[in-house]
Structure 1
Amino acid sequence: MFITGRRKTELDAAVETIGSAAATAVTGDIANLDDLDRLYETVHSRGRGLDVLFANTAIAEFVPLDQITEEHFDTLFGINVRGTLFTVQKALPVLNEGASVILNGSTNGDVGAEAFGVYAASKAATRSFARTWANELKGRGIRVNTITPGPTDTPGLSGLASDEAQAGVFRQHLAAQVPLGRLGRPEEIAAAVAFLASDQSSFITGSSLYVDGGVNQI
């Protein structure tokens, strides 16, 4: 297993949890193409291809239409769209036949949440990528799907609020909108990703698996 990210401390903690015999961490930023090259050179040097690629990337910020700046747009699209694109493109030489590619989507790609337009558009693009790439890679038996979480209790979600007190109010507000009455848990998203990565989903491609407590379904 190879994992990558910008924060070395968190990567090291993940390797410790998984086990150093099973996981290799490569520090890098998916918005930096040189970092992606270095990641896949590491994969290639180990003499093994990838059976699963999870492009788990997202950055979000609330900005209303009249306040969107070029910097805001470029940052979100640079990571969420450009980063996802080149993460998958540059992996093509090391993806094994029949591999599973999973993209990180969002229920916000389907709805018009106020002041969330750029983020929503970036996740709609991710959903479109999955359909197109599933078609393009079918000749190699490579499946491409999107995991589409609803509101999930993560540091990233809380970080959308201005402070800790507001974060609590924000989480309660989101949980009240979910038919199951709570936020999702990271391990629930991980279980859905594991399903898409496994042979149990061998006849699923070009699809989006919603793990949203029903928020976009009911």
Structure 2
Amino acid sequence: MRFLGKKAVVTGGTHGMGLAVVRALLDGGAEVLLTGRDEKNLAGARAELSGKVHVVGSDAADISEVAKLGETVRQTLGEVDLVFVNVGFSSLLPLPDVTAEGYDHTFAVNTRGAYFTAQHLAPLVRRGGSFVFTTSVATGSGFPGMSVYAGAKAAVRAFARGFAAELAPSGVRVNVVSPGFINTPSMGVTGLPAEVMQAFKEQGDAVTPLKRHGTVDEVAAAVLFLAFEATFTTGSELAVDGGLGERLTV
């Protein structure tokens, strides 16, 4: 089996891209600890998944819970081969509608949570292991209504470069996967009415050069390539966006 004997942590692993990575790891024989915050999603993951899986409730916006996660991983898995930092959310809000509270929460989850997750779990990643972070095509594409989210994820991209330099002497690689429009239950955006969600999907197909959304399995394949196959790659970003970030004209 492809991942037999490997141990991995997937934050934000109860749905969408994170869950696709968890499934692929488990199918390959890995032992996985996944996190989520929504109790319904956590229960669903416990009911669905089989194999060596540990489902843990953890809120990336709460620093005390992030610290507790580090201890839970140490006690449950010991050293690990992969940490996939995938927790994140966005809100589709134009500049006049952004509040200080919403701004702070977006950065608390997407940015601060990612940073301190790495801080607490880095000592547990064995030589030859890796971090993979999720960012977004939005960081360089200027999507209306996504300025706060784009800024939060751009910071994560900068973190990953710094982490790659700091962890290289330990033999730990750090890379980033940057999805475009991906078919997930929420499309990565919270609180959209059904009609707005449909329009958002149609816009995604229209602006993506390959004229479709990506699948969660396509993102998972990229994550696992960076995690286990790209052994001489660190500090890099792999786009899974159908050409959107390159502004291809077709």
Using structure 2 for the length normalisation, give the TM-score. Answer: 0.81
Structure 1's 47 and 4: CA in aligned 2 closer, same or farther, altered over 3 A?
A: closer
Task: Select the residue among 180, 200, 203 that pairs with 2:232.
Answer: 203
Give the residue type in structure 1 aligned to 2:111: V
- Taking the aligned partners of 2:192 and 2:176, their CA distance within structure 1 comes to 30
Aligned residues: 216
Percent identity between matched residues is 35
Unaligned runs of 5+ in 1: none
Give the residue type in structure 1 aligned to 2:239: Y
State the match for 1:18 in structure 2.
Answer: 49
Task: Select the residue among 138, 148, 158 that pairs with 1:108.
Answer: 138
State the match for 1:8 in structure 2.
Answer: 39
Per-residue deviation, 1:96: 1.3
Q: Which SS does the other structure have where 1:152 is aligned?
A: coil
Using structure 1 for the length normalisation, give the TM-score. Answer: 0.93
Q: Which SS does the other structure have where 2:195 is aligned?
A: helix
Q: 1:131-210 to 2 correspondence within 5 Å?
A: 131-157=161-187, 159-160=189-190, 162-198=192-228, 200-210=229-239
Per-residue deviation, 1:179: 1.0
CA RMSD of aligned residues (A): 1.6
Task: Select the residue among 211, 215, 218 that pairs with 2:244.
Answer: 215
Q: Describe the superposition over 1:79-104 as per-residue Cα deviations: whole angstroms up to 9, x where unpaired.
A: 11100001100112212122110011
Per-residue deviation, 1:114: 1.5
Deviation larger for 43-52 or 155-164: 155-164
Per-residue deviation, 1:216: 1.2
Per-residue deviation, 1:161: 6.6
Give the residue type in structure 1 aligned to 2:44: A
The answer to whether 1:91 aligns with 2:121 is: yes
Q: Which SS does the other structure have where 1:102 is aligned?
A: strand
Aligned structure 1 segments of 4 or more residues deviating by more than 6 angstroms: none
- Taking the aligned partners of 1:78 and 1:161, their CA distance within structure 2 comes to 18
- Taking the aligned partners of 2:77 and 2:176, their CA distance within structure 1 comes to 28
Per-residue deviation, 1:16: 4.1
Unaligned runs of 5+ in 2: 1-31
State the match for 1:38 in structure 2.
Answer: 68
Give the residue type in structure 2 aligned to 1:91: L
Q: Is the 8 A contact 2:90 2:188 kept in 1?
A: no
Give the residue type in structure 2 aligned to 1:68: V
Per-residue deviation, 1:158: 7.1
Q: 1:69-88 to 2 correspondence within 5 Å?
A: 69-88=99-118
Q: Is the 8 A contact 2:131 2:174 kept in 1?
A: yes
Deviation larger for 31-40 or 139-148: 31-40
Q: Is the 8 A contact 1:158 1:171 kept in 2?
A: no
- Taking the aligned partners of 2:104 and 2:138, their CA distance within structure 1 comes to 19
Give the residue type in structure 1 aligned to 2:230: S
- Taking the aligned partners of 2:191 and 2:35, their CA distance within structure 1 comes to 26
Per-residue deviation, 1:46: 3.0
- Taking the aligned partners of 1:161 and 1:82, their CA distance within structure 2 comes to 22
